[in-house]
A and B are shown apart, each in its own frame.
Chain A
Amino acid sequence: MLSKKRVVITIASALIGSPLMAADNPASHLHGQANLQLAFNDNRVDLLFESPAGNLLGFEHEPRTTEQQQTLDRVTSWLKATPLINTSESTCTVEAANVQRLGHDDGHAHAHTHTHGEEEHHADIEVTQVLVCSGLKQAASLVTPISTRFSGVEHLNIEWVGPDGQGATRLESGDQLFKLGR
């Protein structure tokens, strides 16, 4: 017969080892920071931009006023229409774009702690774009309008994958240009 202690350990290890845990880690949500992933192939760029909604909108809850709704609409249409990266000659055009607002159910699962008095809902904005840019192969550096357009984005982490390899950089607020060299 199993002892009580062993039963507890067995249940605990079963829970810890539960495969559900693998997929269930909520994404980190760090205000002031945003991530941009770029995958290049010839002249095509697949792009994913993720940011806490607060960085782009100034609020993370559902829009409560007309003004907030207008801000959301304006930012959404800007994100759909503007190539989030471009060559220095501005040769990129948006082929397809999608903007999603993703809510966090669990307000505690963050990379930081909040001490807000009122109930807080966190949300991310996720943008996917497919761009076509002529002369992309020759481009040694690219520009992004994100950190100048949104003052809330203080740090923009950029990662890229292309035929010449992978690389990453980090732009601070106001920086636009980044070099594609490793």
Chain B
Amino acid sequence: MKIRLALSLATASLWYRRKVLALVCLTLTLSVTLLLGVQYLRTEVKQSFTSTISDTDLIIGARSGQLNLLLYTVFHMGDATNNIRWSTFQALEKDARIDWLIPISLGDSYKGFRVVATDKAFKEHFRYGQGQPLELAGGQWSEGIFDVVLGAGVARTLSHQLNDEVILSHGGGRTSFSNHKDTPFKVTGILEATGTPVDQAVYISLQGMEAIHVGWESGVAIPGRTLTPERAQGRDLTPSAITAVFAGLDRKILTFRVQRDINQYAEEPLSAILPGVALSELWRLMGQFERALLGITGFVVVTSLIGLIAVLLTLQAQRSHEIAVLRATGASPGLIASLYVIECLALAVVACLSALVLSSLAISILGPWLLTNYGIQIQLRSLNLEEWALLASVPLAALLVAFVPALSAWQTSRSQGFGSPDKL
């Protein structure tokens, strides 16, 4: 009965002061949203980083360190030390353990964005995130030698549309004076945003890459020796070398064995790396960043909880009149103390629930916009155990805080001498 009385009194009191309490609740909600947001960002950045490439079992390139190979093939950072021969690629194609291969050839750029030459296998087998394939936002994949498909970021930054003409630059510089002017490309497709480095690259065919370099053997175009789009048709444009190969295996359990065989390939010095392993190592190197975000989360937790305490204590200080009336009408000190506890707890729980709703809404509304405009992939997901614990710490802290005014109210009530303290 006492609990029911306490609840009905607390509800009436909360409703009476609803305007002030709504503001308090808003402050708390924003604090908890910030707390959840930072924690979410911390885990999501890692997730987004490790989702850069998926389902590819091995990346094969010229002999080098695994981070270097990963950086230039997947993140488009740095350069290849050497190329690998086309004959090596053909030999890999014959290996029965390998299910598919994506050849890639790098070296040119378009206004600072990397040009990646590849073949049909790229659209069929390249996966990112949780095994998502690449989708086109418009147009179609390259069919002709001089067709180009743009990453979402490239199309957005340079405001390109389908059927635009683009002239690629020789080499990797942002500003290049040696352009492949004789062989312009036509934009036939624009990729959907992925939130990965795929968005920041330009995709052409291996034949296209070969064609634009005919007559460039000395590093610059020799007039009269370069190809025109017409002369390129019907010519054998099989590359003699490529930069790297992405490989998928039939049986994942053989990955290390195939890696070892490739690393000991007698015809050419090769390195085969496991992208998932290399990503883990890279993330370990960048662990400082994660620790910094963890530190920020810690500060946010402490600040939010101190804010919560300050707000709740201020709120209680204003209730002396109400409490005196309750005491005068016969409310026991225990009942008055319980009113404080119920109020704090109710405020904290409402704030947490509102923060959950607010965060979910913000992520589901801002997620697609962030991906399209900034290439940042943030997806709505359920909270993990750590985050539930973090969220639960707020009502728990509120409960502890509530005991301070509750105890002082209990003591004051007893000293005022109304009612019967013995009934507690």
Interface residues, chain A, with chain B CB atoms under 8 Å away = 19-23, 25, 37, 39-41, 44, 46, 48, 159, 161-163, 165-170, 182
Contact = CB atoms under 8 A, between A and B. Distances in A.
Interface residues of B, number: 25
A22 B280 contact: no
Contact of A41 (B252, B268, B280): B252
Contacts of B57: 161, 166
Given A22-B267, A23-B265, A182-B50, A161 B279 contact: no
B252 A162 contact: yes
A139 to B, nearest CB: 17
Contacts of A167: 276-277, 280
Interface stretch (B106-114, B162-170, B253-261): B253-261
B251 A23 contact: no
A174 B50 CA distance: 28
Contacts of A163: 252
B256 A166 contact: no
A75 B262 CA distance: 31
A165 B268 CA distance: 28
B63 A166 contact: no
B277 A168 contact: yes
A22 B265 contact: yes
A165 B256 contact: no
Contacts of A37: 256
B385 to A, nearest CB: 11
A21 B50 contact: no
A161 B247 CA distance: 14
Contact of B284 (A41, A162, A170): A170
B267 A19 contact: yes
B251 A41 contact: yes
B102 to A, nearest CB: 17
B266 interface: yes
Contacts of B78: none
B151 interface: no
A46 B253 contact: yes
Given A161-B57, A169-B280, A170-B284, A41 B253 contact: yes
